[in-house]
Amino acid sequence: MSERTMLDTATRYRLLKLLEANPEASQRALARELGVSLGKVNYCLRALMDKGWVKARNFRNSDNKLAYLYVLTPKGAAEKARLTVEYLRIKLAEAEALEREIAALRAEAARLQKGKPETCS
């Protein structure tokens, strides 16, 4: 799986998770939380709405300004469940790779320590 696909999966998963937890979040707040541009959040939200995974509804926020409420549809909830499993699989693979790397580093460090001359203290 390419890094771009993993990033897209991670971004979609995190966006759906954020919307589920905080449907009144502004696009600016979502962008800040995801660490992506406002334009990318806008593009992603439009794509999610086009797929029927998210609906946008108007509401008045605490400043009495008109804002959007982003609500996951049943299809969106099902997609979030699918993405959760996929994201978990990606993260478990990353953890296994990291464990192998750590084991290799420990072995290398032990090998280097054996061959290292003692120093004067």
The total of structural domains in the chain comes to 1
Residue 78 within a domain: yes
Burial class (CB in 10 A: 0-12, 13-18, 19+), 41: buried
For residue 73, the SS3 value is: coil
Q: What is the rounded average pLDDT for all residues in the chain?
A: 87
Phi-psi region of 56 (alpha: psi -120 to 50; beta: other; left: phi over 0): beta
pLDDT digits (tens, 9 = 90+) for 14-32: 999 999 999 999 999 999 9
> Which residue would you say has higher pLDDT here, 117 or 57?
57
Residue 121 within a domain: no
| Alpha-carbon dihedral 61, 65, 70, 71, rounded to 10 degrees | 50
pLDDT digits (tens, 9 = 90+) for 67-79: 889 999 999 999 9
Residue 71 within a domain: yes
Q: For CA atoms 90, 92, 95, 96, give the dihedral sign.
A: negative
pLDDT at residue number 52: 95
Domain hosting 102: range is 3-114
pTM for the whole structure: 0.72
Residue 120 within a domain: no
pLDDT at 87 over 80: yes
Lowest mean pLDDT among 17-26, 44-53, 99-108, 109-118: 109-118
- Angstrom distance (rounded) from CA 85 to CA 69: 26
